[in-house]
């Protein structure tokens, strides 16, 4: 994943637009640059987090089965609880992302789209 982040398009903004291509103009607009930065600032760390958390769980299951077998409540052990926490974290990340996207991605996205579609007419 790290290699996808380093590319970016930041250096593109320093060049002057050579043409009046509407897509290039939109891509270099501050509103779009800001929106992309916000989106990447959310989804890349979140992806890193859930992958790390998932592989921590997988590694525990593979290399520390005795730890996972520790009983907590009756027959319910740590392995079951950590496994169920994977469900909880997945549902939670889903909900947080929807709230984030509704607030930070959809309004500027709609605005940029409407500008582009108005310009195309």
Partner 1 sequence: MIRDVAQETGGVGEPLINGGIFLIFVVITLVIVFRVSRSSKSAADYYAAGRSFTGPQNGVAISGDYLSAASFLGITGAIALNGYDGFLYSIGFLVAWLVALLLVAEQLRNTGEFTMGDVLSFRMRRRPVRAAAAVSTLAVSFFYLLAQMAGAGGLVALLLDVDSVAGQAITVAVVGVLMIVYVLIGGMRGTTWVQIIKGFLLISGAALMSIWMLGSYGFNLSELLGQAVANSPDNGEAILAPGLQYGETTVDKINFISLALALVLGTAGLPHILMRFYTVPTGREARKSVVWAIWLIGIFYLFSLVLGYGAAAMVGPERIAAAPGGPNSAAPLLAFELGGVVLLGFISAVAFATILAVVAGLTITASASFAHDVYANVIKHGEMDPDGEVRVARITALVIGALAIVGGIFALSAGLNIAFLVALAFAVAASANLPAILFSLFWKRFNTSGVLWSMYGGLISCVVLIAFSPVISGKPVDPATGTSPSLVQGVDFSWFPLDNPGLVSIPLSFILGIMGTLIGRHPRDEKRFAEMEVRSLTGAGSEKAVPH
Alpha helix positions (H), the chain = 2-7, 22-28, 30-63, 65-68, 78-104, 106-120
Give the tokens for residue 36.
Answer: 């992309």
Q: Give Cβ neighbours of residue 64 (< 8 Å, ≥ 6 apart).
A: none
In the bound complex, what is the minimum distance in angstroms from residue 54's beta carbon to partner 1? 5
Q: Which is nearer to partner 1, 40 or 103 (CB)?
A: 40
Q: Where along the sequence are the contacts to partner 1 (CB under 8 A)?
A: 1, 3-5, 7-9, 12, 19, 21, 23-24, 26-27, 32, 35-36, 39-40, 43, 46-47, 50-51, 54-55, 57-59, 61-63, 65-66, 68-69, 73-77, 79-80, 83-84, 86-87, 90-91, 93-94, 97-98, 101, 105-106, 108-110, 112-113, 116-117
Please give the Cα distance from 27 to 115 (Å, whole number): 12
């Amino acid at each position: 994943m790290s290699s996808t982040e380093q590319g970016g398009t930041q250096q593109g903004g320093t060049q002057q637009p050579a043409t009046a291509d509407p897509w290039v103009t939109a891509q270099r607009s501050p509103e779009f640059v800001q929106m992309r930065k916000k989106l990447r600032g959310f989804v890349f760390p979140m992806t890193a987090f859930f992958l790390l958390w998932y592989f921590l769980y997988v590694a525990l299951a593979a290399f520390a089965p005795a730890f996972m077998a520790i009983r907590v409540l009756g027959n319910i052990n740590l392995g079951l609880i950590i496994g169920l926490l994977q469900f909880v974290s997945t549902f939670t990340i889903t909900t947080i992302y929807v709230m984030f996207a509704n607030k930070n991605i959809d309004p500027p996205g709609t605005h940029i789209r409407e500008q582009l579609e108005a310009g195309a007419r």
